[in-house]
Amino acid sequence: MQGMLDLKFIRDNLQAVKENVQNRHVQADPDRAVELYDARNALIGEIEALRTRRNENARAMKGKLEAEERKALIEEGKSLKAEIAAKEAVLSETEKELLAEAERIPNMSHPHAPLGKEEKDNTEIRRWGTVPAFDYAPKDHVQLGQELDLIDFDTATRVSGTKFYYLKNHAVLLELALTQFALSVLTGKGFTPTITPDIAREEIVAGIGYNPRGAESNIYTLEGEEGCLVGTAEITLGGYHAGDIIDPERMPIRLAGLSHCFRREAGAAGQFSKGLYRVHQFTKVEMFVFCHPDQSEAIHEELVGIEEEIFQALEIPYRVVDTCTGDLGGPAYRKYDLEAWMPGRGEKGAWGEVTSTSNCTDYQARRLAVRFKEEGKSRFVHMLNGTAIAISRAMIAILENYQQPDGTVKIPKVLQPMMGTDRIVRT
């Protein structure tokens, strides 16, 4: 049985794990997990001892025996069988409870991850670009989308519900151009392009670290099916090698996944959630890497560098932040967010997250059993993910930063050949 964090590690580093749980501001009980782990190990030992006695009993039954001896051995055999069955039942329940407790314990945090509870505690690392200055009150993407006939929220609400939308006219071409651009960047860096399924089995979703069910879940589950709509291609890309032993010579394995993403966004509200920023469905190009544990920190820096390269090419001002412990999410050891400047956000404009990249070390690999062999021993790979581009949020940044006084929107130079025009106008 594998938890998300190595159970022996939890026992041997209990105080550090408890401090990490506190820093992450999550509900978890490492003490109880260790208690169950020790109980489980003791039960396994007891069961093995009983099985040894049963085997000895069976061998004794093959010898020449008096009637009374045989009868005693038969009775002992029955007793051993019943005792083993009883302890196996206790072991099964203990393992279920242990797994439930272990799943609540998050990954360890990088020593440089800032301590904090929420987004305001994240630490800015660097900025790029110049925040645009307007000599007029800039519009937000919702207003621009309506005036240029690009985004229709009202019809989508009638047809599908709130937080859905229709893209129209140049917005459709912009989505396709952004997708093509991101994939071209990634294929040039050795990523294998894929279009992933939009549905994953619940055990894969859980293995990646998402809760498939429950009121707090952000995942849509399929009624009557053991499947979920994916909230990100991280789920389907991470599940690609589930149960595999990867040849170390193949690593790092870099995958780029294009998928729709479906999120319940339960409880998400507020002015910064309006329009395209927080929706139930969007398109995303995701990066995913399987690598040797010694490579993961360097590859994490590589992934955030690719995200920066994409937004520099789009000429969108951004900043990179180091995510605080309370905002990391269970699987992440360290996470960087890239926040773009959004002139229509709030009264004076503000930074808004457009991509993130996480080093999840072996936390996901342990549950999904993704391994490699080194010097004859089986080890878990490290798994990393990163957003190359989330189309809806990139579209916000482009519409708001590239808006013009006449109501049109310029198109980033890098996208103009794919769109066949340099400007978005109402058609």
Give the tens place of pLDDT for each residue, 176-214. 999 999 999 999 999 999 999 999 999 999 899 887 776
pLDDT recorded at residue 329: 87
Please say whether the beta carbons of 232 and 268 come within 8 A: no
Buried b (16+ CB within 10 A) or exposed e, 24-41: bebebebeebbbbbebbe
Indicate if 426 belongs to the active site.
no
Upstream peptide bond of 317 is cis (omega within 30 degrees of 0): no
Question: Which residue out of 254, 263, 334, 371 is catalytically annotated?
Answer: 263
pLDDT recorded at residue 74: 80
In this structure, is residue 114 part of a structural domain?
no
Kindly give, in sequence order, each residue whose CB lies less than 8 Å from that of residue 408, ignoring residues fewer than 6 positions away.
148, 423, 424, 425
Cα dihedral sign, 69-71-73-79: negative
Residue with tokens 């957003």: 387
Indicate if 278 belongs to the active site.
yes
Question: Which residue out of 296, 356, 358, 392 is catalytically annotated?
Answer: 356
Question: Which residue out of 70, 127, 278, 379 is catalytically annotated?
Answer: 278
Domain that holds residue 36: 7-104
Within this chain, do residues 125 and 99 fall inside the same structural domain, yes or no? Answer: no
Tokens, residue 394: 């990139």
In this structure, is residue 298 part of a structural domain?
yes
Question: Which residue out of 234, 307, 393, 400 is catalytically annotated?
Answer: 393
pLDDT recorded at residue 190: 96
Please state, in angstroms and rounded to a whole number, the distance separating the CA atoms of residues 335 and 237.
Answer: 18
pLDDT recorded at residue 355: 97
In this structure, is residue 182 part of a structural domain?
yes
Where is the domain boundary, 40, 74, 104? 104
Percent helix, percent strand, percent coil in the chain, to nearest 5: 45, 20, 35
Residues in the chain predicted with pLDDT less than 70, given as ranges, are: 1-3, 214-216, 266-272
- The 10s digit of each residue's pLDDT in 220-252 is 888 877 899 999 999 999 999 999 999 999 999
In this structure, is residue 111 part of a structural domain?
no
- One-letter amino acid for residue 344 of the chain: G
| CATH number reported for the structural domain that contains residue 176 in this entry | 3.30.930.10
pLDDT recorded at residue 209: 86
Question: Which residue out of 286, 353, 366, 392 is catalytically annotated?
Answer: 353
How many domains in the chain?
2
Within this chain, do residues 28 and 133 fall inside the same structural domain, yes or no? Answer: no
pLDDT recorded at residue 338: 97
| CATH number reported for the structural domain that contains residue 93 in this entry | 1.10.287.40
Within this chain, do residues 263 and 402 fall inside the same structural domain, yes or no? Answer: yes
Within this chain, do residues 283 and 403 fall inside the same structural domain, yes or no? Answer: yes
Indicate if 213 belongs to the active site.
no
Q: What's the whole-model pTM score?
A: 0.90
